[in-house]
Amino acid sequence: MDSTLLYIVMALGVSTVLNLFFKRFGISQIIGYILTGTIMVYLFDLRHMNNSSTLEHIAEFGIVFLMFTIGLEISLAKMYNMKNEIFLNGFMQVGFTALIVYAISHYIFSLESVSALILSLAFALSSTAVVLSYLKSSKEIHNPYGQRATGILIFQDIAVIPILILLGFLTSGSDQGVVYILRDTFFSAVLIIGFMFIIGKRVMTWLLHFSASSEVDELFMGSVLFIVVSAALLASYMGFTYSLGAFVAGMIIAETKYHHKVEADIAPFKDILLGTFFIVVGMKVDVLFFIDNFLIIVGIFALVLVLKTIVTYLVLRMTSSHVLSLKTALALSQVGEFSFVIFAVASMGGLLDKELESLFVLVVIFSMIITPFFISKINRFVSYVSRHEYLGLDVSAFASRQNHVIVCGYSIIGKFVAKYLDEIGAPYVIIDNSPKHIQEALANGKEAYLGDMSKLSLLEAIHAESSAAVIVTLDNIDKKRAICEAVLKHTKNINLIVKISTLEDKQNLEDLEITSVIDDKLEIGRLLVEKMGKCKLKS
């Protein structure tokens, strides 16, 4: 017990010091966590714990909570709208990548067919933990390239299930046919999803309603943790991954009015457990083996990076622009954490040589170490090679700004708001999460930035509390409410002006302390009567 506490305290101390140091140089904290794991293994001679199933289960819950927060971003309606990104792009990316990796590894590098199959399936997957963590923290998950990357990653997480079933079939040498296994899996999937959406949704909504009504934060947080872990365990019991159950639970809560509060409350647990996941990844690093095979590892990584970028780019280019396809392809060019599971299952089943497993695991780790360094530079790299203007948010421009207007949204209403602000000479900036709208604003000579106003971190970055007013021109009521909640949580001393179109919009926002709600139909009626009053009577 004393030793365990010592290891935990040392891990916390080492990771904190490393990440404070790395933060000064803009290096991702993922690197700090991975190095912490490696340092702990060699400092306390914990190599016997490299493959600890208990540690891996704890670490896996970092991915579970990450997938839960992704589910909160994707309601059923949104998933239906993303069906091409998830099922079409995702299937083609995984399928074509696996086929090409298999052909190269089997026919060029002469790997056995089973080893080549395992390698191809593992290398077709990308890192959910690294990519989605970056997309969420940078607010690019709502951008077109972020949406495409998210859709493909969701499909990859779903694809882990049939991959593990296939490995189980190859390992057991069972007489039961693949068709029967897939049939049972399909019925299990229908059963668990149906159960969660029919019964689970009522239970979750009831639990969240009563825990929120208690106005005790601990009870609400406990309810959320219960929902996430229960959904993950249910999925695992039915033969699926923990993360799939958590993702479905997130999708269900996304349909309720509690999803913004749940996302904010769950963030600390997700971040801590993700840190634990990367520490366990770092514990798998065999430094001596890595040094001896450094050139081979780097060569395999470079080959995979180039290959996956080309395949993903060509898949997306059929339906997307060059810039969008290239950004998404680069973001998904690494190898993912579920590859660890695939290699481990294959090795235990005697399908993969131990030395090959060690080599491939180090390729995955090297990939996850390198990715945070270049993923944040993708926008600038693509801008440079494609002569495309980077739409990043330079927050330094807001440091000393006072009494300006923030216009949220640059669609039709937003354009008219900007026009009238120009007429009265009021200083303003435009914030929109649509690259298309930002391009239009920049082309019209406006000061505009790409970003999601519902995120508190963005409001802090642009010093929203120093502005004279925030004008919300969006039509989507869910996004409109999320922005209002975020602005009011950030500061009460601000004029918040919101456009509404329906009675439902008004009822949805009436519990918020909004300065002024403008009903477009009411205003049009008032203006029509005013114009009529100014008309001369015709004889």
SS3 letters across 78-112: HHHHCHHHHHHHHHHHHHHHHHHHHHHHHHHCCCC
Do 174 and 215 lie in one domain? The reply is yes
Closest of 77, 136, 79, 431 to residue 263, by C-alpha: 136
Domain span at residue 176 reads 50-386
Do 407 and 477 lie in one domain? The reply is yes
- Whole-angstrom distance, CA of residue 135 vs CA of residue 152: 13
512: pLDDT confidence band, cut at 50, 70 and 90?
confident
- Whole-angstrom distance, CA of residue 44 vs CA of residue 39: 8
pLDDT at 182: 64
Q: Which residues pair with 429 in a beta bridge?
A: 406
How would you classify the pairing of strands 428-432 and 405-408? parallel
SS3 category, 462: coil
Both structure tokens of 82: 């993303």
Write out pLDDT tens, residues 447-503. 888 777 887 767 877 778 888 899 998 888 888 888 888 888 887 778 899 988 887
pLDDT at 321: 76
- Whole-angstrom distance, CA of residue 20 vs CA of residue 36: 13
Residue 32: inside a domain? no
Write out pLDDT tens, residues 388-409. 555 455 555 565 678 889 999 8
Indicate the average pLDDT of the chain: 81
Residue 15: inside a domain? no
Domain termination residue (choose one: 327, 358, 386)? 386
Do 371 and 408 lie in one domain? The reply is no
CA 17 to chain centre: 26
Q: What is the mean pLDDT of residues 144-158?
A: 85
Say whether pLDDT at 322 is over 90.
Answer: no
Torsions phi, psi for 431 (to 5 deg): -120, 125
Domain termination residue (choose one: 386, 416, 439)? 386
Do 192 and 233 lie in one domain? The reply is yes
pLDDT at 513: 84
Do 116 and 226 lie in one domain? The reply is yes
Helix (H) or strand (E) holding 444: none
Residue 26: inside a domain? no
For residues 121 and 163, the answer to whether their CB atoms sit within 8 Å is: yes
Torsions phi, psi for 497 (to 5 deg): -120, 125
- Whole-angstrom distance, CA of residue 438 vs CA of residue 430: 8
Do 509 and 371 lie in one domain? The reply is no
78-87, 212-221, 454-463 — which is least confidently predicted?
454-463
Both structure tokens of 311: 């395949």
- Whole-angstrom distance, CA of residue 240 vs CA of residue 262: 24
CATH code assigned at 524: 3.40.50.720
Residue 320: inside a domain? yes
Do 357 and 331 lie in one domain? The reply is yes
Residue 233: inside a domain? yes
Domain termination residue (choose one: 386, 414, 447)? 386
- Whole-angstrom distance, CA of residue 204 vs CA of residue 315: 38
- Backbone dihedral region for residue 45 (phi beyond 0: left; psi -120 to 50: alpha; all else: beta): left
* Number of domains observed in the structure of the chain: 2
For residues 450 and 456, the answer to whether their CB atoms sit within 8 Å is: no
Residue 34: inside a domain? no
Say whether pLDDT at 44 is over 60.
Answer: yes
Query: CA angle 357-358-363, nearest 5°?
Result: 95
Residue 35: inside a domain? no
Say whether pLDDT at 537 is over 70.
Answer: no
Do 309 and 193 lie in one domain? The reply is yes
Write out pLDDT tens, residues 101-136. 999 999 999 898 888 999 999 999 998 878 887 887
Do 190 and 111 lie in one domain? The reply is yes
Do 217 and 347 lie in one domain? The reply is yes
Do 468 and 331 lie in one domain? The reply is no
Residue 37: inside a domain? no
CATH code assigned at 67: 1.20.1530.20
Cα separations (Å) of 219 from 209, 317, 372, 377, 485?
Answer: 11, 48, 36, 41, 21
Do 367 and 437 lie in one domain? The reply is no
User: Which range, 153-162, 207-216, 416-425, 497-506, has the best average confidence (pLDDT)?
Assistant: 416-425
Say whether pLDDT at 378 is over 90.
Answer: no
- Whole-angstrom distance, CA of residue 64 vs CA of residue 245: 8
